[in-house]
Chains A and B, each alone.
Chain A
Amino acid sequence: MSVESLVAQLKTGLDAPICLTWELTYACNLQCVHCLSSSGQRDPRELTTAEAKRVLDELHDLQVFYINIGGGEPMVRRDFFELVDYSISRDIGVKFSTNGAFIDADKARRLASMDYLDIQISLDGIDAATNDAVRGAGSYDMARRAMEHLATAGFGAFKISVVVTRHNVDQLDGFKALADSYGAQLRVTRLRPSGRGADTWHDLHPTNAQQRQIYEWLLAKGESVLTGDSFFHLNALGEPLPGLNMCGAGRVVCLIDPIGDVYACPFVIHDQFKAGSVRDPGGFAKVWKQSPLFLELREPQSAGACASCGSYDACQGGCMAAKFFTGMPLDGPDPECVGGEGDHVLRSIDTTLAPRPSMDHSKPTTVRLGTTRRPVPVAGA
């Protein structure tokens, strides 16, 4: 079976996801301008520890090999270590994304002592000015301090996770050098107009010339840099990048959000892409196997306006979330289509009519005494 036929098979869905993202909380000590989940404040409906463990039991039964834990800042949850320990005890490996605020020397030693645990520290600039412009004041030092603690504790190869923007694309070599200096692994992913990113994407997303720059850099680095297969829209430029050339939403990946809602992927927190809830009768397994949304995504998709383009087989029409939150038709080009078709569409539509994310947990910009929910304390930040 060729890779192409394997991809064709995967598009019809798997018995359980390969790669499941679970945002544990919407609470976050930071307020990144591109946060894909519009995180900030805890949602009072957040899954309890007992509910979260029941989900892990289900994932164990489905033989989900590992989960990607995120947020919000997952380490804000008081039961963070309890849930990670429980997951690993149920043979579900954990990779979690963090801004590093809560990784002090003690926590670093505890993390270093655990098997089947991977850590991704988010960093969006190789210097404080570039990083903090996106992730907030002090966040660069926070991340670097966490990396130092992990290195000192002998954690091994943690990951440095970068969202590529117009402003850090020239720093890719610098990120790689930084990762190498820690014996860490670099992971770069694509900026999506999701969450608060819907408001900042137009200013942050790489230009068309930068798209080619990213493509050539990734091609040269091969499999030494992780990408979450997020740049497959660039394959229209020529030789395909390593990885699966397909959108995995609802087919091989999905998202469980902090309140247990299941979405097709981490970048589409919107009612149109909500498949159900782990709190529904039948739990996560029933949502994965039977939700009408996921069954529809596993049907052959129309190439639509891209059908006549010779590059469609290479780029697959790009990212569903990127199209959706820029107000573009789902069966048309990606907004960052390297053939320039996305630009044409973007210029012809009213982008202010684009759908808005269904939930916003951003912290209020002004404190209205007595009317706002109190944010989760972030002691130690």
Chain B
Amino acid sequence: MLDEALELHPQVALRPEPFGALAYHYGNRRLVFLKHRDVVAVAQRLADHPSLSATLSACDIAPSRWPSFERAFASLKSSDVVRERESSVTSVTSVTSETNETSAA
């Protein structure tokens, strides 16, 4: 995970909130809570760096916190909020768009 080159999915919008951010995926209609501002900052800069670990370094995230970021981004990847760069990612086809289709990272 740490070595992967990631990017925000182009169909995802991030909206800053006091607790972090809301991410909405216009393709699969999923709403995801990003529950820490640091996760938001890293997510926004993924595409500028060769890997997740490089992005974490660039964002001055202490290495002791990297395992929690690795988990958070694995979760964001599974909900298609972020994806691997330069690979054709199959978009999720299920259509869900209610507040009960939420998940958190």
Contacts and interface: CB of A to CB of B under 8 A. Distances in A.
Contacts, number: 78
A198 B29 CA distance: 33
B100 A229 contact: yes
A116 B31 CA distance: 14
A223 B101 contact: yes
A9 interface: yes
A252 B36 contact: no
Interface in B58-105: 94-102, 104
Interface stretch (A14-22, A268-276, A318-326, A351-359): A14-22
A15 B99 contact: no
A11 B38 CA distance: 22
Interface of B: 13, 15-19, 22, 24, 26, 29, 31, 33, 35-36, 94-102, 104
A332 interface: no
Contacts of B15: 15-16, 63, 65
A248 B19 contact: no
A360 interface: no
A227 B100 contact: yes
A316 interface: no
B99 A95 contact: no
Secondary structure type dominating chain B contacts: loop
The 4 closest A-B pairs by CB, nearest first: A243-B100, A65-B24, A1-B35, A63-B15
Interface in A113-138: 116, 118
Contacts of A9: 18-19
Chain A contact residues (Cβ within 8 angstroms of B): what range?
20 to 34
B97 A95 contact: yes
B36 A15 contact: no
Contacts of B22: 14, 18, 65
Nearest to A9: B19
A359 to B, nearest CB: 26
B94 to A, nearest CB: 8
Given A18-B22, A187-B98, 7 more contacts: A6-B33, A14-B22, A18-B99, A65-B24, A226-B96, A243-B102, A252-B99
Contact of A65 (B13, B100, B102): B13
A118 B97 contact: yes
Interface string A1-42: 101001001001011101100000000000000000000000
A156 B24 CA distance: 21
Contacts of B29: 66, 93, 118
Output the residue of A18, A248, A253 with the most chain B CB within 10 A: A18
A333 to B, nearest CB: 23
B31 A226 contact: no
Nearest to A156: B95
A6 B34 CA distance: 10
A226 B101 contact: yes
Contact of B104 (A1, A16, A18, A252): A1
A63 B26 CA distance: 13
Interface in A228-267: 228-229, 242-244, 248, 252-253
A157 interface: yes
Contact of B97 (A93, A223, A248, A252): A93
Nearest to A241: B100
